[in-house]
Structure 1
Amino acid sequence: MHVDCLIIGQGISGTLLSWFLHKEGKTFLVIDNNKVDSSSKVAAGIINPITGRRYVTTWMIDEVMPFAIDTYRSLESYLQASFVYEKSIIDFFPSPQMLNAFVDRIAENDTYLHSYPNQNQFNQYFNYDFGCGEIRPSYSIHLPLLLELWKQKLNEWNAIKEEEFLLDDLQISDDHASYHDITAGKVIFCDGVDAATNSWFRLLPFAPNKGEAMIIEAEELYNGHIFKRGVMLVPLPTPGLFWVGSNYQWEFADDKPSEHFYKQTSNLLQNWIKVPFKIVDHKAAIRPATVERRPFVGFHPHFPVIGILNGMGTKGTSLAPFFAHQLIQHLVYDLPIADEANVHRFTRILSRETGKGSS
């Protein structure tokens, strides 16, 4: 079997990469281990134009957000499903200082930050003492549904193998790769944190971190917005269900849900939400984040048959469409990849070690 591209991983990056290859009429095969709690499946799929406690505009958001929404809308049409939800973020200020910081940022740039006209609108649902502001436009993408529907499409095309990828069995030559009975013009790793142990790319400055989330049922809770106060509270497509999270753990022993997060988040919700709720699920995953908070996109400077689309961190829902498209445009038309994302910025680092296999 020969394909133009062998894709390792069917998270959000692998899904979008194969979508753009399909649009270009290229052949591909995806190998995915179907991990239940991958970072793409655990994430809420939020596209938020503002980041951090200082309300800073997210990197490249003016370009990546409209592109991402157009891409997801196109996939909705193609798959005949709905998984894109435009919902502004209501940010409840935890202190007068945060209220003042929000107001100051509005004065500087009101593109995404807005005052909220009715400060008492959410009193029946939440406890909050210092008011709220609004971030818009923002979106939630129901990634589990998108990933499942795309997997069904890949199965229809015989374009996916659900199995563990054995890195030591991959053979690389100057112009193609071989894996078992498959030959491919390119191999692109979209395998999340697993890439950090891949000897072609393990010297890249990955900074994996663990995130946890809960699913709660709160039938009386208003679902017209995403709500934020320490954690995000995101309405899910199933009425009455909400995603709650997430945190950032830079040191962790495993990828399992922790009792600490459960207790801490339960207490936060009990002090914040006024209506009845119950916790129905608790999940955790390791994010493929990077030290400089920029993704890794492109082909290995010394092994051009090998590529990577990875390191999206918490911004994968917004960044993956843009950079998957850039990577395919580079592959097909030799168009440039953004310098800040191009893996060639690490050419010197990647020259220190060559070869195959994992360790």
Structure 2
Amino acid sequence: LEKAGQSIVVIDQSKPFTASKIAAGIINPVTGRRMVKTWMIEELLNFIKIEYRALESELGIQCLENTTVIDFFPSVQMRQSFLKRQGEDDQFLQVTKEENYWRNEFNYELGWGSVSPAYLVDLPLLLSSYRNKLKQNKKLLEENFEIERLFVKNDGVQYKDIRSNKIIFCDGIESANNHYFKNLPFAPNKGEALIIETSPLSSGFVFKKGISIVHWEKDKYWVGSSYEWEFSDDLPTKEFRERTEYLLGQWLRHPFKIIDHVASIRPATLERRPFVGFHPQHTNLGILNGMGTKGCTLGPYFAKQLADHITSNKPLMKEADIYRFKGILTRPPGSGH
């Protein structure tokens, strides 16, 4: 929006544990147990490189790193699934004849394959750098957003003493409790990760065997994540720590020390498609949300699409546009199902 000449202000209270801040930042071109291509991946990969490089240039940082995912097969079924998919389409999947290549660093029984190109986004660096830029330009209000102080009018919105044409909610799981958007079919899930210290592993790789090991900083590595559909809070659990510590001890050949355990709630969606666009009744209220585990992949693409929609009235992709939920978004309160 700024690039298009729009004036903006961001309202955000800094919180230590949000889904973005504790995510590993992996952009993986394949997904799920059946190793299918990530939705729209060919289009997204080209776009992602351009957008992240532009952000790097703007902020004077390096936050996008090329990587290869080394996929150690955790079961015979997963090995067969990988080999079958690679035989059908080898665009991103590679098999190896060097089955023993990683024996010095890992224990594994069923071999491995690799996924590339993949990318890693340094989210702590990117988020802190962008936050500093907003602060320097006096475009950041560091406070909790109080929705009861938002007044929606025909010609715009007013929040406290700020008048604006539009407001966009990019607040992750908080939107599931926002009375304008809570009817959207969110499917929140909880993710946990450990931060460990260990001897340096081979650089330029993400290692995966059910759980993933991703370089975090210096001799620290991120290990995760979980997908918990039933949870009562956003706090780390003893069960995840114990299970992950056991799996890691079986797999990793280096001694390691757990130095942190983090958790947060992801704003996933029932149909695994994002929520982008404007409320059908309150057309000054927008949303950019519902990316689930694919925030680094989908976020830049749909942020640009939403900005183009606002500034040039370009159409939003129908699969992402929240207008597809017009019926439930315009349902009167208390009208049931």
Sort the TM-score into its range (normalised by shorter chain): over 0.9
Whether 1:333 and 2:312 are equivalent positions in the alignment is: yes
Aligned-pair CA distance for 1:85: 1.1
- Does the 8 A contact of 2:65 with 2:119 survive in 1? yes
Whether 1:35 and 2:15 are equivalent positions in the alignment is: yes
Distance in 2 (alpha carbons) for counterparts of 1:245 and 1:353? 41
Aligned-pair CA distance for 1:110: 0.8
- Does the 8 A contact of 1:295 with 1:309 survive in 2? yes
Post-superposition Cα deviations, 1:20-61, rounded to whole Å, max 9, x if no partner, equal x12112100000011110100010111001111111111111
- Does the 8 A contact of 1:199 with 1:353 survive in 2? no
Post-superposition Cα deviations, 1:182-241, rounded to whole Å, max 9, x if no partner, equal 0000000001111011111000000111000111111242233100001111112x2221
Paired letter, 1:191 = D
1:180 aligned partner: 160
Whether 1:233 and 2:213 are equivalent positions in the alignment is: yes
Aligned-pair CA distance for 1:80: 1.0
Distance in 1 (alpha carbons) for counterparts of 2:267 and 2:77? 32
More moved, 108-117 vs 138-147: 108-117
Gaps of 5+ in 2: none
- Does the 8 A contact of 2:276 with 2:289 survive in 1? yes
Distance in 2 (alpha carbons) for counterparts of 1:85 and 1:353? 47
- Does the 8 A contact of 1:42 with 1:283 survive in 2? yes
Secondary structure, counterpart of 1:313 in structure 2: coil
Aligned-pair CA distance for 1:148: 0.4
For the aligned residue pairs, the C-alpha RMSD in angstroms reads 1.2
Question: % of aligned pairs identical?
Answer: 48
Distance in 1 (alpha carbons) for counterparts of 2:106 and 2:86? 24
Post-superposition Cα deviations, 1:328-355, rounded to whole Å, max 9, x if no partner, equal 000000111111000000001111037x
Aligned-pair CA distance for 1:101: 1.4
- Structure-to-structure mapping, 1:319-330, within 5 angstroms: 319-330=298-309
Whether 1:121 and 2:121 are equivalent positions in the alignment is: no
Whether 1:145 and 2:125 are equivalent positions in the alignment is: yes
Whether 1:59 and 2:64 are equivalent positions in the alignment is: no
- Does the 8 A contact of 2:66 with 2:204 survive in 1? no
Distance in 2 (alpha carbons) for counterparts of 1:116 and 1:223? 19
Distance in 1 (alpha carbons) for counterparts of 2:326 and 2:78? 41
Aligned-pair CA distance for 1:66: 2.0
Paired letter, 2:322 = V
2:173 aligned partner: 193
Distance in 1 (alpha carbons) for counterparts of 2:158 and 2:332? 21
Distance in 2 (alpha carbons) for counterparts of 1:69 and 1:118? 31
Aligned-pair CA distance for 1:107: 1.2
Post-superposition Cα deviations, 1:112-171, rounded to whole Å, max 9, x if no partner, equal 111134221110000011110000010110111101000100011110001000000000
Paired letter, 1:194 = E
Residue 220 to residue 320, structure 1, CA distance change in 2 (3 Å): closer
Aligned-pair CA distance for 1:69: 2.1
Paired letter, 1:112 = F
Aligned-pair CA distance for 1:98: 1.7
Aligned-pair CA distance for 1:70: 1.4
1:46 aligned partner: 26
Distance in 2 (alpha carbons) for counterparts of 1:23 and 1:77? 14
1:10 aligned partner: none
Paired letter, 2:285 = I
Q: Pick from 178, 188, 202 the counterpart of residue 222 of structure 1.
A: 202
Distance in 1 (alpha carbons) for counterparts of 2:10 and 2:320? 23
Paired letter, 2:94 = H
Secondary structure, counterpart of 1:136 in structure 2: strand
- Does the 8 A contact of 1:219 with 1:239 survive in 2? no
Secondary structure, counterpart of 1:138 in structure 2: strand
- Does the 8 A contact of 2:279 with 2:285 survive in 1? yes
Q: Pick from 47, 65, 86 the counterpart of residue 66 of structure 2.
A: 86
TM-score by length of 2: 0.97
Distance in 2 (alpha carbons) for counterparts of 1:171 and 1:101? 53
TM-score by length of 1: 0.91
Post-superposition Cα deviations, 1:264-322, rounded to whole Å, max 9, x if no partner, equal 00000000000121111110000011110111000111111000000110000100000
Runs of 4+ off more than 6 Å: none
Secondary structure, counterpart of 2:21 in structure 1: helix
- Does the 8 A contact of 2:63 with 2:121 survive in 1? yes
